[in-house]
Structure 1
Amino acid sequence: MKTTTRLMLTACLVLPLLAACKKEEAPVAQVAAPLAAPTTADDAAWRTYVSDVVTRNMAGISNQPYVYYLPAATGDEATDTGNYERLQDKARTDVARGIVRGNMLAYASSDSAKMADIVVTAFADVPESTMQGVRVVFIGDAADQARVAEAVAPAGVEYVFVEAK
């Protein structure tokens, strides 16, 4: 009986030491550096960049973001005009329908001025202070930042500008 007790006591003392030896440190999460904005109009590179920026601005957002991306001009006027008008209509319709707290709207394009036009048009008829708790992220040139900020301010959104550089 004494032998069994001694073995049990020894096991109780040794097992925690062995467990501590085998315990691995938790891996440290590595945060990737932010991507730089593409210097060309390459759509694949721009989509990757926009996805990175949107992901980095999701803190406090509880729903899937609305991302409005205008592809670079192709040189085909009919296609370019069609892309622009479809995106403008979608952005205007979504905002007019109403966006509730906890959502994010992200606007980006390699053609910052055209995207700024889309944002200004989309927010033109939004009643004052009706979009509290909604984040609007504009990814574009610094030259368009003030115009977009002025257009979205009356809606009461949290405005975030990310310079595409």
Structure 2
Amino acid sequence: MSRTALLALLAVVALSACKKEEAPKAQAAAVAVPTNGDPNAWQAYASDVVKKNMDGVNSAPFVYFLPEESDPNFQDQYDAQAEKVKSDLTRGILEGNMLAFVSPASAKMGDLVIASFADVAAGSMKGVKVLFIGQAADNERVKAAVAPSGVNYVFVEAK
């Protein structure tokens, strides 16, 4: 084989390899929003949404979940999550982290976020992402509560 033919063959192989790398990768189907209060379904949904919003996040996200309000242990779980969020915020959240909030009880989760951010110092959370997965009716009030802290707020409507 001549040297020119060999170079041409190598060029063709290299180009075909590049084309294979450029082929779009099949994405997994999105997890649908649960139509009931099944906590496992909600957690799978939350995991899917969180994964899709990890851009700019450098470590494992803090994910806070509340069951539906009809759950017999709702108040205990609400109190525990509120304490956990407050504790995490008091310790401080570093730039490049994410706090994700999700619940079939969107209004109650909104209340929890608002109460938790009440004492956060203005501008103290720059570079932190807050992801709120809930109902559109709760978006603006949650956004207003977290904005002074300087977070990058992202809302995903659970519909």
- Give the TM bin, normalised by the shorter chain: 0.7 to 0.9
- Indicate which of 60, 67, 71 corresponds to 1:71: 67
TM-score (norm. length: structure 2): 0.86
**Aligned residue among 134, 143, 152 for 1:158:** 152
What secondary structure is seen at the aligned counterpart in 1 of 2:80? Answer: helix
Question: What corresponds to 2:56 in structure 1?
Answer: 60
Output the TM-score relative to the length of structure 1.
0.83
Unpaired stretches in structure 1, ≥5 consecutive residues: 1-8
Kindly provide the amino acid, as one letter, of the partner of residue 92 in structure 1: K
Alignment of structure 1 residues 130-141 onto 2, 5 Å: 130-141=124-135
Distance in 2 (alpha carbons) for counterparts of 1:52 and 1:75: 23
Q: CA separation in 2, counterparts of 1:65 and 1:18?
A: 45
Distance of 1:111 and 1:71 partners within structure 2: 7
* Structure 2 runs not aligned, ≥5 long: none
Q: Larger radius of gyration, structure 1 or 2?
A: 1
CA contact (8 A) 2:100 2:132 kept: yes
Report the alpha carbon displacement of residue 19 of structure 1 after superposing the two structures with TM. 10
Instruction: Report the equivalent of 2:96.
Output: 102
Partner of 1:28: 24
Aligned residues: 155
C-alpha RMSD over aligned residues: 2.3
